[in-house]
Structure 1
Amino acid sequence: MINLSRPNISEQAIESVARVLRSGQLVHGPESETFEQELAVYLGCREAILVSSGTAALHLALMALDIGSGDAVLVPDFTFPATANAVMAVGARPVLVDVSADTYNLDPQCLRQTIEGWRGAERLRAVMPVHEFGHPADMAAISGIAKEHGLYVVEDAACALGANLNGRKTGTFGDLACFSFHPRKTLTTGEGGLLTTDNPELARRTRRLRNHGMERTDSGMRFMEPSLNYRLTNFQAALGRAQLPSLDLWVNDRRELAALYVENLAAPAGEGLLTLPNADPGHSWQTFMVVLDGRFDRAEVIAKLKAVGIESNLGAQSMQEIGLYGDALDTCKVGPHLYAQGLALPLYERMTPDQIRQVSESLTAVLSGAD
């Protein structure tokens, strides 16, 4: 079976985890502190704060900005539900914005139209652009619109560690940014996440919020505000540290494999059987998703690929179609189509060119032979 993804964990990384386990220092500790410093240097940001998941990062970002009941946050329609779930978790309202058909990212024109047409009871407070599958969002346009309207920017960079926009790493454009270290991500700590910011006060509060609202004072630990336990363990940090030096090499491998997909799927794309993703040079390619023509039943395509030993799946969800985030206004058209017809193909840095060709030929055969 050619799997959809595979974590890249070396024996050296396993030994790093074992060393921490033997030490007995399991909760946030020296490995965590060093990993935060290394990530800040890698990304080129002032502050990096490790947390227990990408969802925890999103939740804490909104908490740190005091977003809650009576507020609204603009989120792309096409994303993993964690983006909108975090907004709901703080009592705010997600406001759905459609995405671009080529990048799968929040469409700046739709963002402007949604803001200017907003008539809801809640006050718009922030926008959460997602770098979908590792494709950098148009942060210049999004940040400009947000500034015009006095909105915070929280980057959902869950899939985008290692991606860049004109040489600048994603996760360094917003007031805060959030990453995930889930096993399907290029760098994984099993579960885990990261917040980044250049604002020292936001960093200080976020560190407090991830640890029950506690701060160390001259008189000892003091509870400053009610909060949660969103710490990453010391041994998870060791696992991440072992992978970080290889990250750029792995991202480059993924870019080369994605280019092979584009080359090998050019014929069915030219025949209108599918649409290929935009190959931005800064893309980190956490996922390679094509969009099937409307004549195809994606579930049938997935089943046929599985029968020949190839795992595939949908790419992400349409928040509008899920129907959990307020009234369905049917304002989003691209997101629902991507949700219905998007097909994620296997992609991980240890794939071979022959496997890329095998997947491409099998998919072409399935689509060409469909009734």
Structure 2
Amino acid sequence: MLKLSQPNISEAAIAAVADVLRSGQLVHGQECEAFERELATYLGCSDVILVSSGTAALHVALQALDIGLGDAVIVPDFTFPATANVVALTGARPVIVDVVPGTYTLDTVQLEQVIQSWDGVERLRAVLPVHEFGCIADMREINRIAKSYGLAVVEDAACALGARQDQRKAGTLSDVGCFSFHPRKTLTTGEGGALATNDAALAARMRRLRNHGMERTISGMQFFEPATNYRMTNFQAALGRAQLPLLDEWICQRTILASIYKELLSPLEKAGVLALPRLVTGHSWQTFMVVLDASINRDEVIGELRARGVETNLGAQSLSCIGIYGEPQVRSVFGPALYKYGLALPLFERMTMDDVSLVAEAVSQVLLGESA
């Protein structure tokens, strides 16, 4: 079975984890601090704060911006529910805005329309764009709009470590960026996440919020505010450190594979049975998702591809379709369509060109009704 994704864990990475386990220093320690410095250098920002998951990163970011009851945060319709869940967990209201086809990222035209027509009882406080599958949202326009209306911007860059826009890295294009190191991500620590910022005061508060609201002072540990434990372990950081020097090489290989997918599947796009993602400069290609024609049953396609030895799945969820975040202010069109017809294909840097050809051939056979 050709898997949808596979973590790239070398023997050297395993050995680095084993060294930490043998040391007995398992909680946040020197490996975490080194990983934070190395990530900050890689991203080109002043501060990185490691946490226990991408969801934790998003939650800490909103808490650090004092977003809570009586506030509202704009989120894209097509994303993993964690993006909206963290807004709800602060007591704020998630406000759903549609995405655009091709990049699957926040629709900036609808974003400004929603802000201009906002009549909710809550106060709009922030925009939380998602760099879906490693494609950076239109941050120039999002930042322009947010600045015009006095809104903070938090990047959900869970899938986008290493992605670039305007020669800057994802997660450094706003007030704060949030990353995930889940096994589906290109760089993984199992579970784990990080925040990136150039705001020293914000960084200091986020460090407290990941660690029970406490801070070491000259007089000992002091507790400044209620918070939880979102620390990353030392052995997770060792795993991440071992992969970071290889990340750009892996992204380069994924970009090549995505281009091959685009070429091999273009006849199916011309035939009208699927739509392909845009090949955007700086995309980090955590996932390659096509969108099936509405006449095609995705579940049947997934089953038939599995029978041919190819694992596939949906891409992400539509927040408006889930139905637990209240009524959208503006009806979404593309988010629900991507949720219903999006099909994620296998993509990881150790795939070969033959693997991509195998997947493309299987997809063609299934969608065009050809025999294997």
Q: TM-score, normalised by structure 2?
A: 0.99
Q: Distance in 2 between matches of 1:365 and 1:253?
A: 26
Q: How many residues align?
A: 370
CA shift, 1:325, in A, is 0.4
CA contact (8 A) 2:208 2:215 kept: yes
Q: Distance in 2 between matches of 1:40 and 1:135?
A: 20
Is 1:230 aligned to residue 230 of structure 2?
A: yes
Q: Distance in 1 between matches of 2:292 and 2:152?
A: 35
Partner deviation per Cα, 1:71-126 (whole Å, 9 max, x = no partner): 00000000000000000110000000000011100011010011111110000000
Is 1:45 aligned to residue 45 of structure 2?
A: yes
CA contact (8 A) 2:171 2:177 kept: yes
Structure 1 counterpart of 2:130, one-letter code: V
Is 1:17 aligned to residue 25 of structure 2?
A: no
Q: Distance in 1 between matches of 2:341 and 2:195?
A: 32
CA contact (8 A) 1:182 1:191 kept: yes
Partner of 1:253: 253
SS at match of 1:265: helix
Q: Distance in 1 between matches of 2:111 and 2:72?
A: 14
Partner of 1:294: 294
Partner of 1:361: 361
SS at match of 2:205: helix
Matches within 5 A, 1:180-199: 180-199=180-199
Q: Distance in 2 between matches of 1:304 and 1:134?
A: 28
Q: Distance in 2 between matches of 1:334 and 1:308?
A: 30
Q: Distance in 2 between matches of 1:331 and 1:46?
A: 39
CA contact (8 A) 2:55 2:86 kept: yes
CA shift, 1:168, in A, is 1.1
Structure 2 counterpart of 1:338, one-letter code: L
Partner of 2:305: 305
Q: Distance in 2 between matches of 1:341 and 1:308?
A: 20
CA shift, 1:330, in A, is 6.1
Partner deviation per Cα, 1:196-245 (whole Å, 9 max, x = no partner): 00000000000000000001111100111110000000000000000000
Q: Name segments (4+ residues, structure 1) moved above 2 Å.
A: 327-330
| Identity rate, percent | 64
CA contact (8 A) 2:97 2:330 kept: no
Q: Distance in 2 between matches of 1:329 and 1:316?
A: 21
Q: Distance in 1 between matches of 2:235 and 2:243?
A: 13
CA RMSD in angstroms comes to 0.8
Structure 1 pair 160–175 and aligned structure 2 pair: CA distance change class (3 A)? same
Is 1:169 aligned to residue 169 of structure 2?
A: yes
Q: Distance in 2 between matches of 1:291 and 1:164?
A: 24
Partner of 1:318: 318
CA shift, 1:136, in A, is 1.0
SS at match of 2:61: helix
Structure 2 counterpart of 1:39, one-letter code: L
CA contact (8 A) 1:181 1:189 kept: yes
Partner of 2:123: 123
Q: Distance in 2 between matches of 1:274 and 1:225?
A: 51
Is 1:135 aligned to residue 135 of structure 2?
A: yes
* Structure 1 gap segments, 5+ residues each: none
CA contact (8 A) 2:114 2:329 kept: no
* Structure 2 gap segments, 5+ residues each: none
Q: Distance in 1 between matches of 2:165 and 2:292?
A: 28
CA shift, 1:167, in A, is 1.8
Partner of 1:90: 90
Partner of 1:77: 77
Partner deviation per Cα, 1:297-347 (whole Å, 9 max, x = no partner): 000000000011100000000000000101255611110000000000000
Partner of 2:263: 263
Q: Distance in 2 between matches of 1:328 and 1:304?
A: 35
CA contact (8 A) 1:320 1:330 kept: no
Q: TM-score, normalised by structure 1?
A: 0.99
Q: Distance in 1 between matches of 2:53 and 2:71?
A: 24
Q: Distance in 1 between matches of 2:84 and 2:93?
A: 9
CA shift, 1:166, in A, is 2.4
Partner of 2:211: 211
Q: Distance in 1 between matches of 2:328 and 2:68?
A: 21
Structure 1 counterpart of 2:117, one-letter code: G
Structure 2 counterpart of 1:170, one-letter code: A
CA contact (8 A) 2:114 2:330 kept: no
Q: Distance in 2 between matches of 1:174 and 1:32?
A: 24
CA shift, 1:363, in A, is 0.3
Q: Distance in 2 between matches of 1:344 and 1:323?
A: 23
SS at match of 2:147: helix
CA contact (8 A) 2:106 2:129 kept: yes
Is 1:26 aligned to residue 26 of structure 2?
A: yes
CA contact (8 A) 2:96 2:329 kept: no
